[in-house]
């Protein structure tokens, strides 16, 4: 790419004009994608055994870790629980990836397809398509149910898919991806965890780093100079999406499906200070960014506190 081309209008590249920040970022991310992208169909050994003595995910990320109920469980029960929790996380990731792809395609529909910005957005859609298949196969390989969000949240996702756009859509995407990222960075390094979970987490973390960078810069650009009224609107909508994503991460049925007392498990998970602290500490970087661009304030704080990000 040369510094003598840009794309700031619908007419395409303009000779002799420096590249915009948006185009420079997209160009770098396209180059990174060309150097380091993964096809999970071939990169993950889907035929590898599922060891009986490996957790589905890092046990410290279990919603019951640190509770009295966790202390009562056998190692076999803990492993089974974390397999179901990992499957639930993957299924929510899959659900949100599909919403993300819809958002990106709507966003670039009227933009110049010769721009690096649009080309990277399309590259990201291709990445997310592979990730969706990867998450689906991971749940299948662990022989887990297809969880996903509650039905009413699934239906609300249709509204987000049709009406949310601009800074809010990018902020919501970035926040949801960073929440998954903060968990999966632990999963991929943890030798106590199932090989399939580690492999899937590694691919997702490496490729999502580009997507998060893309979304962060787009959020900052689109909020530059925003009015107080618009910021209030963007704050609330972003917080609402984050609230539903975090709330959906672990489906209530995982406990009964793992052979536990559902009501007791739900109650202990609800009051689990260890899990809440882990979410808050891991999400600190995300919340700092949202605060810096003006997306934390007013009623949004209530929603973030409810899911332990503040």
pLDDT at 165: 73
CA 241, 140, 60: angle at the middle one, nearest 5? 60
End-to-end CA distance of the chain: 42
Give the residue among 145, 151, 153 at the shortest CA–CA distance from 85: 145
User: Superfamily for 53-307?
Assistant: Ribonucleotide Reductase, subunit A (1.10.620.20)
Could you give the CA distance from residue 179 to residue 93 in angstroms, rounded to a whole number?
Answer: 10
Q: pLDDT band at residue 7, thresholds of 50, 70 and 90?
A: very low
pLDDT grade, residue 159 (50/70/90)? confident
Q: With pLDDT > 90 as the criterion, what percentage of the chain qualifies?
A: 73
61-110 pLDDT, tens per residue? 999 999 999 999 999 999 999 999 999 999 998 998 998 899 899 989 99
pLDDT of residue 200 exceeding 50, the answer is yes
Mean pLDDT on 291-310: 94
Instruction: Give mean pLDDT, residues 254-272.
Output: 97
pLDDT tens column, 17-49: 355 889 999 999 999 999 999 999 999 999 988
Per-residue confidence (pLDDT) for residue 9, from 0 to 100: 42
CA distance 281 to 109: 38
Q: Which stretches within the chain are classed as H helix? A: 21-35, 40-43, 68-72, 75-108, 116-141, 151-163, 166-189, 195-223, 228-248, 253-257, 262-270, 273-282, 284-292, 300-306
Confidence of residue 219 (pLDDT cuts 50, 70, 90): very high
In angstroms, rounded to a whole number, what is the distance separating the alpha carbons of residues 132 and 33?
A: 18
Per-residue pLDDT, averaged over 151-162, amounts to: 84
Give the model's pLDDT for residue 216: 92
Q: 297 is written with which tokens?
A: 């304030």
Contact 12, 117 (CB under 8 A): no
List the domain boundaries for the chain: 53-307
Note the pLDDT of residue 130: 95
pLDDT at 121 over 90: yes
Task: Say which residue the tokens 């859509």 belong to.
Answer: 169
Rounded to whole angstroms, how far apart are CA atoms 115 and 109? 12
Residue 169, both tokens: 């859509």
Q: Which of 200, 305, 167, 181 is nearest to 249 (CA)?
A: 181
Mean pLDDT for all residues in the chain? 89
Q: Is the pLDDT of residue 178 over 90?
A: no
């Amino acid at each position: 790419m040369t510094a003598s081309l840009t794309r700031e209008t619908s007419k395409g590249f303009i000779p002799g004009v420096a590249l915009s920040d948006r185009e420079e970022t997209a160009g770098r991310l396209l180059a990174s994608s060309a150097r380091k992208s993964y096809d999970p169909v071939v990169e993950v050994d889907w035929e590898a055994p599922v060891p009986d003595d490996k957790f589905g995910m890092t046990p410290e990320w279990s919603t019951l870790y640190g509770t009295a109920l966790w202390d009562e469980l056998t190692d076999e029960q803990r492993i089974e629980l974390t397999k179901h929790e990992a499957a639930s996380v993957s299924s929510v990731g899959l659900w949100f990836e599909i919403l993300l792809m819809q958002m990106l395609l709507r966003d670039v529909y009227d933009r110049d397809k010769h721009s690096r910005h649009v080309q990277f957005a399309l590259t990201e859609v291709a990445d997310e398509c592979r990730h969706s298949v990867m998450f689906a196969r991971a749940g299948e390989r662990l022989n887990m149910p297809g969880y996903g969000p509650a039905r009413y949240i699934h239906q609300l996702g249709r509204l987000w898919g049709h009406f949310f756009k601009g800074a809010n859509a990018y902020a919501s995407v970035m926040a949801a991806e960073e929440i998954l990222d903060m968990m999966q960075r632990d999963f991929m390094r943890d030798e106590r965890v199932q090989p399939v979970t580690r492999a899937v987490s590694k691919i997702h973390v490496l490729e999502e780093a580009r997507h998060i960078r893309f979304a962060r810069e787009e959020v900052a650009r689109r909020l530059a100079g925003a009015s107080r009224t618009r910021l209030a609107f963007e704050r609330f909508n972003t917080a609402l999406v984050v609230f539903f994503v975090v709330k959906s991460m672990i489906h209530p049925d995982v406990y009964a499906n793992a052979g536990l007392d559902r009501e007791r498990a739900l109650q202990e998970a609800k009051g689990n200070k260890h899990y809440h602290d882990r979410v808050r500490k891991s999400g600190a970087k995300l919340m700092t960014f949202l605060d810096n661009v003006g997306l934390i304030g007013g009623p949004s704080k209530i929603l973030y506190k409810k899911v332990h990000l503040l």
